[in-house]
């Protein structure tokens, strides 16, 4: 009996001690919270006390995963309905992040232009993205700081400088000839051509040449394109791997294997090209110094000599590869997509195509002109208006790349927390009925001056004074290659319209919300001086 009593007493004492322990913890937490509240009241901080922008009803964890599985294309109609209900700034909980979406052009200007330094950062990369970007060592994903400035300045000064852009005119002419020859070889009366593939291939050829400095074979170009496309297309699927990577490496082991395999394939294709260019550069420079050949700088050349001042080292092969990958993807898909939409509208609106052809003919005359020269483009205001209207109505990307803020700040009286993820809706701003009359129509004339002799007069595509559309972004993270992109679009559209008459298949109406094919009817500029009325527009 005595032993039972002692055991019971010990149990009671042990329970009392545990209760006392938790009671002390509870009291300590309560006192700490009270002290924090008193300190905050007595010593106000500069942190905003505003709330996050409104958000739809969500179920924690479940909603996060569901949003994570959606691409921006899936999100866009949902966001449009949320803007109508909640206003131009909304919050979604996507994976481990709280993402804020902005659709208002004035708020976007306030954030990216007026308060650009605060909104110029990028969010930390997820586990999969860290691998693809070598821990964010490329222009698009690098944090706002010295490394980003070095990488961006290198591209702007070494590749995008006007003199360097002119040095690639031979490359543009070469690629244009490839595109025209492929279209001619496939064009038969009444037969449709899937031109999006031809546009993409042509743009990719051009970027490969600018990147690696060599005219690679068709098989090599297709091999590079295949590995780049596989990673790009499947990356939405791999986004899930960023959500709790420790768990996904176990639960989604096969997905990680697939991801590593695709990344290795990219290495196997791009790194040998980088090594070959490094060797060729050394040989070419020695011949150039001897006056034996002309040397044109490639993007890889500029990267080989680049040093990262913070780390006091040159770029390694993985970083060179991710920068080359960024260069190829950034200039190919955007330009080929914009080109496709512009040509689609010229098919749908033949009167615009006719007016554009008249302008080109008025500039180059009736001589034996095979290709439109780059110098002639400056005398074609309607061409520029067509390009601007195409970018406004059909921006290649409907959202900017995700931004992050460097400190707690406010936007439209809402809190944007430090390191908060914020997205800007490009398409919504280009379709704003408060800015553009009948915004969903394709009307290049809206960019023409009253006398019809100048295009885009007073219109600033950089959005520095006011945002009316921003197909290339705005502010400090604006695409540095917007000038090159405009040149490529003007050059290729002018030559495509000059060489071919574009019609819909069998006279069908072109539905710009769906995929479509074109019938290409050849024009022969050589006959312009012989029978301009029978073959060409009078």
Kindly list the distances between the CA atom of residue 318 and the CA atoms of 140, 159, 520, in Å, as whole numbers in the listed order. Answer: 16, 21, 43
Strand order through the sheet with 192-193: 192-193, 518-522, 500-504
**In this structure, what DSSP letter does residue 47 have?**
S
Instruction: Using DSSP, state whether 464 is helix, strand or coil.
Output: coil
Contact call for residues 252 and 241 (beta carbons, < 8 A): yes
Residue 246, Cβ neighbours under 10 Å: how many? 8
For the chain, the helix, strand and coil percentages under 3-state DSSP, each to the nearest 5: 60, 10, 35
What is the DSSP pairing of strand 97-102 with strand 421-424?
parallel
Cβ neighbours of residue 160 under 8 Å, at least 6 residues apart? 480, 481, 483, 484
Helix (H) or strand (E) holding 410: strand 409-411
Distance between CA atoms of residues 73 and 51, nearest Å? 28
Q: Which of 203, 210, 166, 167 is nearest to 182 (CA)?
A: 203
Kindly write down the DSSP assignment for every residue of 167-193, as one continuous string. HTHHHHHHHHHHHHHHHHHH--TT-EE
Distance of CA 198 to the CA centre of its chain: 21
Contact call for residues 466 and 460 (beta carbons, < 8 A): yes
Helix (H) or strand (E) holding 437: none
**In this structure, what DSSP letter does residue 367 have?**
S
Residue 194, Cβ neighbours under 10 Å: how many? 12
Is 479 annotated as contributing to ligand binding? Answer: yes
Distance between CA atoms of residues 277 and 287, nearest Å? 15
Alpha helices (H) along 103-145: 105-109, 127-132
Q: Which of 452, 443, 417 is nearest to 53 (CA)?
A: 417
Distance between CA atoms of residues 384 and 372, nearest Å? 14
Instruction: Using DSSP, state whether 127 is helix, strand or coil.
Output: helix
Can you point out the beta strands (E) in 132-255? 192-193
**In this structure, what DSSP letter does residue 526 have?**
G
Cβ neighbours of residue 304 under 8 Å, at least 6 residues apart? 277, 278, 281, 314, 315, 320
Going by the annotation, the residues of the binding site are 479
Going by the annotation, the residues of the binding site for heme are 479
């Amino acid at each position: 009996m005595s032993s039972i009593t002692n055991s019971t007493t010990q149990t009671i004492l042990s329970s009392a001690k545990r209760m006392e322990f938790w009671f002390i913890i509870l009291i300590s937490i309560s006192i700490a919270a009270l002290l924090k509240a008193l300190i905050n009241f007595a010593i106000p901080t500069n942190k905003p006390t505003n709330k996050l922008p409104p958000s739809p009803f969500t179920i924690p964890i479940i909603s996060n995963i569901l949003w994570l599985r959606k691409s921006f294309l899936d999100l866009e109609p949902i966001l449009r309905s949320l803007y109508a209900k909640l206003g131009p700034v909304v919050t979604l909980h996507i994976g481990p992040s709280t993402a804020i979406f902005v659709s208002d052009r004035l708020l976007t200007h306030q954030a990216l232009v007026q308060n650009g330094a605060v909104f110029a950062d990028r969010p930390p990369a997820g586990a999969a993205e860290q691998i693809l970007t070598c821990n964010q060592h490329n222009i698009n994903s690098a944090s706002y700081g010295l490394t980003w400035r070095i990488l961006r300045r290198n591209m702007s000064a070494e590749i995008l400088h006007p003199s360097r852009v002119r040095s690639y005119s031979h490359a543009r002419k070469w690629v244009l000839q490839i595109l025209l020859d492929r279209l001619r070889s496939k064009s038969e009366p009444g037969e449709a051509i899937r031109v999006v593939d031809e546009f993409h291939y042509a743009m990719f050829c051009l970027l490969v040449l600018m990147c690696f400095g060599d005219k690679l074979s068709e098989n090599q170009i297709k091999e590079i394109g295949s590995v780049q496309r596989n990673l790009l297309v499947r990356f939405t699927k791999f986004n899930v791997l960023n959500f709790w990577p420790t768990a996904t490496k176990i639960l989604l082991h096969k997905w990680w294997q697939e991801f590593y395999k695709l990344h290795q394939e990219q290495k196997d294709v791009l790194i040998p090209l980088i090594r070959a260019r490094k060797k060729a550069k050394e040989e070419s420079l020695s011949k150039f110094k001897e006056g034996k050949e002309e040397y044109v700088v490639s993007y890889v050349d500029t990267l080989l000599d680049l040093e990262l001042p913070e780390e006091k080292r040159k770029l390694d092969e993985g970083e060179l590869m991710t920068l080359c990958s960024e260069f190829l993807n950034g200039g190919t898909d955007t330009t080929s997509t914009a080109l496709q939409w512009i040509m689609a509208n010229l098919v749908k609106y033949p009167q615009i195509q006719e007016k554009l052809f008249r302008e080109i003919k008025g500039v180059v005359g009736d001589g034996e002109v095979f290709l439109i020269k780059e110098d002639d483009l400056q005398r074609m205001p309607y061409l520029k208006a067509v390009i601007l209207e195409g970018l406004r109505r059909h921006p290649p990307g409907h959202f900017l790349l995700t931004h992050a803020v460097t400190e707690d700040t406010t936007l439209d009286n809402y809190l944007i927390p430090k390191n908060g993820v914020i997205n800007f809706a490009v398409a919504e701003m280009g379709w704003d009925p408060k800015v553009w009359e009948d915004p969903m129509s394709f009307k290049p004339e809206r960019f023409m001056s009253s006398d019809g002799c100048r295009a885009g007069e007073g219109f600033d595509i950089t959005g520095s004074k006011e945002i009316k559309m921003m197909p290339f972004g705005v502010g400090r993270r604006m695409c540095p290659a917007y000038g090159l992109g405009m040149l490529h679009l003007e050059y290729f559209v002018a030559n495509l319209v000059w060489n071919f008459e574009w019609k819909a298949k069998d006279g069908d109406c072109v539905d710009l919300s769906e995929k479509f094919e074109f019938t290409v009817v050849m024009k022969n500029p050589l006959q312009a001086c012989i029978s301009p009325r029978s073959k060409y527009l009078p």
